[in-house]
Amino acid sequence: MNLRKLDMRKLVAITATLITAGSFVKAEVSSTTVTLGNYLEQVSRQNQSFISFEKRQESAVMQVRENDLTLSPNIFSNAQIGSDSKLSAMPIPLLSYDRVDTQNYSVGLKQNTRYGTSLSVSYDVDYTNYVNMPGSSGPFYDARPVVEISQPLWQNGFGKSTRAQLSATEAKWQVENYTAQAGMRNMLLDAQITYWNLVIARETVKVQEKNLKRSEDIFSYVSDMAKKNLYEKSDVIQAQASLESSRLELKSAKDDEHTALRSFNALKNVPPGTSADTLSSIELESLEAVAVPVTHAVKAEVKVAEYQAKSTAEQLNTSIDQNEPSLALYGSYALNGRDSTVSDALSSSYSSGKPTGLVGLKFSMPFDQGAVLDVKKGLQKQSESSTLQYKQKLADQEQEWAELCEKLTDSCERLKMAITIEKLQKDKLENERVRLQQGRTTTYQVLLFEQDHLQSELSFLRAASTVLTLRAKLTVFQN
């Protein structure tokens, strides 16, 4: 499986499209309006944590090529010069010499395969000179093309551990990849919620400002009527209390807006005191069309647990195999050429008819098999633990998805009710205004109905905020 890189621009575009799929904002916005897509783009480009996650993912995509290095051919070479003046092992006068001067050179290629086979091809050249040896014809060169091969049969038999280690390495970088993806998705989720929180906070301030104006009008109306002895003092006190309450609610709404703006600016790394951007407005009717998704993808956090379990399992296989008895088949074959010059030695190495061949077996095994069994059981329990964690993450994901869908369904129902109530309150207010023009009701009654309408608008904003937040949370389940 290739390590997949999540494209940041595509992620931002998909996220913005999903959250605005129901046309939550008005279609016509000015060129200076910061839409949700604009804001997510700003966060992705300016937030250092987001950029850090992006680079972390890019790192994982590149470092998975560590497996290519494991299986790629390696060039090796060796060169050494030596001199040996110790006495000959055979005390024969004709074989006596002062010292032996040697030079050894080799160059070749070596490669390991996923089946455990180790293969090398090299060319060796040796120079030998017996100094002051009676009857010596002088220095000579040995040239040898050599092929060596080794194949494990038990421990890492036919590459079992090699393939497990390759899979463990890939799983390790998949963990890094999906950890970074989870970080980016969660940051975009926070950005979405922060954006809508500021939108709702500003709409709430507008409603509370209108609510304060209505409270001031009611207080002024009641005060004037009390001066004419048409209302009691208690009515004036009640109207004044309502006015102060409206002022408090407006103050709270502005504080909430300030907090939301600070979070809004913090996510895109701009100073807290930066002037507010113009944001998209919520389209009332469009939210009624919000649909609950039927299917979902696997969350990045669950993918992390999945590949952690896979990495642990593959490392388990490698560790268990390392304690198995070692049995390997090996062999080598070399052609030999010797002459007083390098060129002649190289030429004769392919035609001398004096090859060297070697075939053998190597075997070893741990003596304490009891310890081997205990280690194996311990490793198996570790793997089981990681698998159980993954299964629990998977179960938690399904539970979270079901709860979010259920909450979104319920919130959409409440939203529809809030929209209906807001429309009814608006109709009631318009009707009462008509009645006032006809002289069939009082200004005070109209002012009260205006407050009822404003309260229904606040109820709608609270319901809309819940729907937008839940819909944003569902985007982390999208590919």
pLDDT digits (tens, 9 = 90+) for 48-67: 999 999 999 999 988 888 88
pTM: 0.77
Confidence of residue 26 (pLDDT cuts 50, 70, 90): very low
Q: Which among 177, 171, 132, 124 has a CA at the least distance from the CA of 148?
A: 124
Residue range 384-443, pLDDT digits in tens:
888 898 899 999 999 999 999 999 889 988 988 998 899 999 999 999 888 877 878 877
| % of the chain residues with pLDDT over 70 | 89
> What are 303-331's pLDDT values in tens digits?
998 898 888 888 888 878 877 888 889 99
For the chain, list the domains and their CATH numbers.
8-66+165-309+384-477 (1.20.1600.10), 80-159+326-369 (no CATH)
In Å, the largest CA–CA distance within the chain is: 146
pLDDT at 171 over 60: yes
pLDDT-derived band at 151 (thresholds 50, 70, 90) equals very high
Q: Is the pLDDT of residue 9 over 50?
A: yes
User: What pLDDT shows up at residue 5?
Assistant: 59
Going by C-alpha positions, the residue among 208, 144, 173 that lies closest to residue 451 is 208
User: At residue 3, does pLDDT exceed 70?
Assistant: no
| Helix H or strand E segment including 140 | strand 140-152
197 has pLDDT over 50:
yes
- Weakest mean pLDDT among 14-28, 106-120, 246-260, 419-433: 14-28
Task: Assess contact for 283 and 25: CB atoms under 8 A.
Answer: yes
Highest-confidence segment of 102-116, 126-140, 232-246: 102-116
Tell me the sheet residues that pair with 331. 149, 359
Judge whether residue 252 has pLDDT over 80. yes
* Per-residue pLDDT reduced to its tens digit, 363-382: 888 777 778 788 788 878 88
Residues 6+ apart with CB under 8 A from 329: 150, 151, 153, 359, 360, 361
Euclidean distance between CA atoms 210 and 250, whole angstroms: 9
